[in-house]
Structure 1
Amino acid sequence: MVFSVSALAVTGVILFLLIRYKALGIVSATVALLFGFYLAKTGAADSIDQIMTTFRDTVSNW
């Protein structure tokens, strides 16, 4: 059985848990959200996507 979860879903769950257990405040979460949103618009988005794809493939094959 193949189980696939998007990176967005995983980071969303992590962010939710950090907020839920008060390890991350609302302001910090908002800053993290905006940082990710704006980072996606830069030229670094392709490099980050390649790094995350490589990481996912490495974890999958481990």
Structure 2
Amino acid sequence: MTVTLSAVLILGVAVAAALKFRSLTAGGFILAALFGFYLASTGAAPAVNQFVTAITDAAANIGN
């Protein structure tokens, strides 16, 4: 299955519209955007994966 950038753009606009009409909170927007990057595997996906890995590693090391 091939997902193109245009499909990602359309999904991004849909999520932004949901945020604008207050049917999606800011936290939900972030989760939806991250899910979109993972699902689409665009060129930005490796950077998002690295960012999420860094955040989870940092959270795991809190208190150690």
Q: TM-score, normalised by structure 1?
A: 0.47
TM-score calculated relative to the size of structure 2: 0.46
Greater RCO (Cα-Cα under 8 Å, separation 6 or more): 2
